[in-house]
Amino acid sequence: MFVDIVKISLKAGDGGNGAVSFYREKYVAAGGPDGGNGGRGGSILFKADNNLSTLIDFRYKRKYTAQNGENGRGKRCSGKAAPDTIISVPKGTVIKDSHTGRIIADVSGDEPIVIAKGGAGGKGNMNFATPTRQIPRFAKPGYPGEKLDVTLELKLLADVGLVGFPNVGKSSLISVVSAAKPEIANYPFTTITPVLGVVKVNEKSFVMADIPGLIEGASEGVGLGHAFLRHVERCRLILHIVDVSGIEGRDPKEDYKKINLELANFSKELADRPQIVAANKADIATKEQIEEFKAFIEGNGLPFFVISAATSTGTEKLMEAVAAELDKLPPVLRYEPEPLTQSELDQIEQEKHTYKVEKLDDGIFEVTGEFLLPILNSVNMEDYESIQYLQRVLRSSGIIDELEKQGVQEGDTVSIYDFEFDYVR
Q: What is the CATH number of the domain that holds 23?
A: 2.70.210.12
More confident residue, 388 or 283: 283
Residue 345 lies in a domain: no
pLDDT tens-digit readout, 345-384? 777 777 667 888 988 877 789 998 888 887 887 777 777 7
Query: How far is 42 from 69, CA to CA, in rounded Å?
Result: 7
Is the pLDDT score of 242 beyond 60? Answer: yes
The pLDDT-based confidence of 152 (bands split at 50, 70, 90) is very high
Regarding whether 125 and 38 lie in a shared domain, the answer is yes
Regarding whether 165 and 150 lie in a shared domain, the answer is no
Number of H helices, E strands in the chain: 10, 18
Pairing assessment for the beta strands 275-280 and 237-243 based on DSSP bridges: parallel
Residue 135 lies in a domain: yes
Residue 253 lies in a domain: yes
Is the pLDDT score of 216 beyond 60? Answer: no
Q: What local confidence, expressed as pLDDT, does residue 254 receive?
A: 93
Among the three residues 128, 154, 180, which one is the final residue of a domain in this structure?
154
Query: How far is 297 from 287, CA to CA, in rounded Å?
Result: 15
Regarding whether 147 and 125 lie in a shared domain, the answer is yes
Whose CA is closest to 53, among 227, 193, 230?
A: 193
* H helical segments located in 99-245: 170-177, 225-228
pLDDT tens-digit readout, 30-50? 678 999 999 999 999 999 998
Our measurement of the distance from residue 129's CA atom to the centroid of its chain's CA atoms, rounded to an integer in Å, reads 43
Regarding whether 195 and 175 lie in a shared domain, the answer is yes
Is the pLDDT score of 229 beyond 60? Answer: yes
CATH number of the domain bearing residue 390: 3.30.300.350
Q: What average pLDDT score do residues 292-308 get?
A: 96
Which helix (H) or strand (E) covers residue 204, if one does? Answer: strand 204-210
pLDDT tens-digit readout, 16-31? 999 989 887 776 666 7
The interaxial angle of helices 170-177 and 315-326, nearest 10 deg, is 80
Beta bridge partners of 87: 46
Whose CA is closest to 422, among 414, 150, 134?
A: 414
Task: Specify the pTM.
Answer: 0.74
Regarding whether 136 and 249 lie in a shared domain, the answer is no
Our measurement of the distance from residue 188's CA atom to the centroid of its chain's CA atoms, rounded to an integer in Å, reads 34
Question: In whole angstroms, how far apart are CA 329 and each of 9, 237, 323, 326?
Answer: 38, 8, 10, 5
The pLDDT-based confidence of 222 (bands split at 50, 70, 90) is very low
Q: What percent of the chain has pLDDT over 70?
A: 90
Segments forming the whole domain that contains residue 267: 160-326
Please enumerate in sequence order all residues whose Cβ is within 8 A of that of 217, keeping only pairs 6 or more positions apart, or say none. Answer: 223, 262
Give the end-to-end CA distance of the chain in Å, rounded to a whole number.
66
Q: Do the Cβ atoms of 270 and 263 come closer than 8 Å?
A: yes
Is the pLDDT score of 184 beyond 60? Answer: no
More confident residue, 198 or 180: 198
Which helix (H) or strand (E) covers residue 352, if one does? Answer: helix 342-352
Whose CA is closest to 141, among 162, 164, 118, 122?
A: 122
Is the pLDDT score of 389 beyond 90? Answer: no
Regarding whether 167 and 149 lie in a shared domain, the answer is no
- The rounded mean pLDDT for the chain is 86
Question: In whole angstroms, how far apart are CA 115 and each of 130, 195, 314, 400?
Answer: 38, 29, 47, 36
Regarding whether 7 and 147 lie in a shared domain, the answer is yes
Our measurement of the distance from residue 319's CA atom to the centroid of its chain's CA atoms, rounded to an integer in Å, reads 34
Max distance between CA atoms of the chain, in angstroms, equals 107
**Range picked from 163-167, 190-194, 211-215 for highest mean pLDDT:** 163-167
Q: What average pLDDT score do residues 223-231 get?
A: 59
Q: How many residues does the chain have?
A: 425
Query: How far is 338 from 348, CA to CA, in rounded Å?
Result: 16
Among the three residues 107, 129, 154, which one is the final residue of a domain in this structure?
154
Q: Do the Cβ atoms of 398 and 404 come closer than 8 Å?
A: no
Residue 198 lies in a domain: yes
Question: What is the total count of domains within the chain?
Answer: 3
Taking residue 124's Cβ as centre, other Cβ atoms within 10 Å add up to 31
